Amino acid sequence: MKNFLFAVTFLGALTFGSSSAFAQQSFFCSSDYGGYCQYTGKISKLYVNDGNFIIMYFENSVDPTAISNAGISASVNDAGGYLITDNPIYAEYLYSTLITAQASKRPVTIQFFGTTSGYLKLSKVWLVE
């Protein structure tokens, strides 16, 4: 009976458990709209440095060929960035959304248009769950 209950509990956890445990990142780029990339996944690291730069790291590095095929020249392929002085109010909202997602371990969808300091430039963000 104990083995049966264990099996049912285990299968229930696999079937009805959190999908985020099995979630993987997705990343693609397109040459549409002048070239952009989109990331969906969790934020592995997030910080602001003394150069007024927000840096958000992906769970895993992405294929730099996908970025260059979209006509974007980025030297960093595992993070996106935003220069706070470009738009301080937007940067405040952006960082607030990113830190909320990271703290709650929720995935995000982020679009990047262009680059800034070699990073894909964070342009739009959505909380996924």
Is residue 48 in some structural domain? yes
What is the average pLDDT across 112-128? 94
CA distance 78 to 118: 11
Indicate left, alpha or beta for 60 from its phi (over 0: left) and psi (-120 to 50: alpha).
beta
Is residue 11 in some structural domain? no
Is residue 12 in some structural domain? no
29 pLDDT exceeds 90?
Answer: yes
Fill in the amino acid letter for 52: N
Of residues 61 and 6, more confidently modeled = 61
Residue 40: give the domain boundaries: 19-127
CA distance 105 to 103: 6
Is residue 4 in some structural domain? no
Is residue 28 in some structural domain? yes
Range name among 8-22, 30-44, 59-73 with the lowest pLDDT average: 8-22
pLDDT in tens, 72-95: 999 999 999 999 999 999 999 999
Q: What is the per-residue pLDDT for 128?
A: 81
Give me the number of domains the chain comprises.
1
Is residue 32 in some structural domain? yes
Q: What is the per-residue pLDDT for 23?
A: 53
Is residue 14 in some structural domain? no
Cβ–Cβ under 8 Å, residues 15 and 7: no
Q: What is the per-residue pLDDT for 9?
A: 35
Is residue 31 in some structural domain? yes
Q: What is the per-residue pLDDT for 17?
A: 35
